[in-house]
Amino acid sequence: MMIECPTNHQALPAIFDPHVPNNPALWAVFEGRHTGRAVVDDLERPKQCVVRTDATLTYASRNISRDFLTDAIEYYCRGEQVWLVHPLGETPGPTDSRVVPNIEFYDYDPDSAVLAEFRMRLPPGYSIRTIDMPLLQRCLWRDGMIFYCGSLENFLTNDLGLCMLNGEEIVVETYATALGSTYAEIGGITHEPYRGKGYMPTCIAHLIAALEQRGYHGYWSCEAKNLASAHVARKLGFAVEKPYEIWEYAAAR
């Protein structure tokens, strides 16, 4: 049996691995910062659950059966695509998917000399500014914030972003797009005229400091083929690096 369940059901977090890859997005749904859907095997005492965020990331609870996972993916795929976050060695979903290798990075020393040095590399005349609505309207990832956070207003209310500016010109955009129970997913983009100059780690180091002040640790993930993104994470001193997969399922027609 599979039943739709409110994502704020108090029993759900306990049946998920708190260290599942991309976990900030899952916990942001549980805590009501982002929206999503959940299906369970029992509404009163759920033992199996699959959660799909409105940004397509999909998570299976611990000890889930393959039959329940298959049924849940087929259920969500009725009109919606599904990106199943799949830790290596866990219960596999249906095989009609596109498998995308990913890497996650977490755990760093927030007081490390590496992060402190990057924060000091801000060039003369440049500044770090918290993203507000006028600045967000000029950002390259503006539409991405609507997709991942539901709306620009929800991003500004529940998430965090910093820009590096040269005067009023945007150099780097950095975002924490999912603030979970203890981790926040981070990422960013450098505007084309400034690429290749090493500005991204400086802005991310400032974002990490801002997150730590709010009680969150930065979490980084990217596709395994995105060598530039992985290189930035390693430069910033993330201590744990683990592979996982995203299994992408197209919406049924």
pLDDT digits (tens, 9 = 90+) for 91-127: 998 988 999 999 999 999 999 999 999 999 999 999 9
CB 150 within 8 A of CB 54: yes
Q: What string of DSSP letters covers 12-76?
A: TGGGS-TT-TTHHHHHHHHTTSS-EEEEES-SSS-S-EEEEETTSEEEE-TT--HHHHHHHHHHH
CB contact set of 140 (below 8 Å; sequence gap of 6+):
170, 173, 189, 191
CA distances from 45 to 3, 15, 41, 42 (A): 12, 10, 8, 6
Q: Is the dihedral of CA 246, 24, 18, 6 positive or negative?
A: negative
Given a cut of 80, whether residue 253 has pLDDT beyond it is: no
205 pLDDT band, cuts 50/70/90, is very high
| Per-residue pLDDT, 156 | 97
| Per-residue pLDDT, 79 | 85
Element counts in the chain: helices (H) and strands (E): 8, 12
Residue with the two structure tokens 């699959």: 50
| Per-residue pLDDT, 57 | 97
Cα–Cα distance measured from residue 145 to residue 152, given in angstroms and rounded to the nearest whole number: 6
Query: Greatest CA separation found in the chain?
Result: 62
Cα–Cα distance measured from residue 53 to residue 38, given in angstroms and rounded to the nearest whole number: 9
Q: Where are the domains of the chain?
A: 3-102, 108-237
Task: Look over the chain and give the mean of its residue pLDDT values, rounded to a whole number.
Answer: 96
181 pLDDT band, cuts 50/70/90, is confident
Q: What pLDDT, in 10s, does the model give residues 133-175?
A: 999 999 999 999 999 999 999 999 999 999 999 999 999 999 9
Given a cut of 80, whether residue 242 has pLDDT beyond it is: yes
Overall CATH class of domain 108-237 = alpha beta
Q: What pLDDT, in 10s, does the model give residues 2-47?
A: 999 999 999 999 999 999 999 999 999 999 999 999 999 999 999 9
Cα–Cα distance measured from residue 51 to residue 242, given in angstroms and rounded to the nearest whole number: 22
Given a cut of 80, whether residue 224 has pLDDT beyond it is: yes
For the purposes of burial, counting CB atoms within 10 Å of the CB of 95, is it exposed (0-12), middle (13-18) or buried (19 or more)?
A: exposed
Q: How far apart are the first and last CA of the chain?
A: 24
Other CB atoms within a 10 A radius of the CB of residue 202 amount to 24
| 126-130 sheet: strands from edge to edge | 3-5, 36-40, 49-53, 57-60, 82-86, 240-249, 98-106, 217-223, 183-190, 169-179, 160-166, 126-130
CB 216 within 8 A of CB 184: yes
Picking from 88, 90, 16, the residue whose alpha carbon sits closest to that of residue 53 is 16
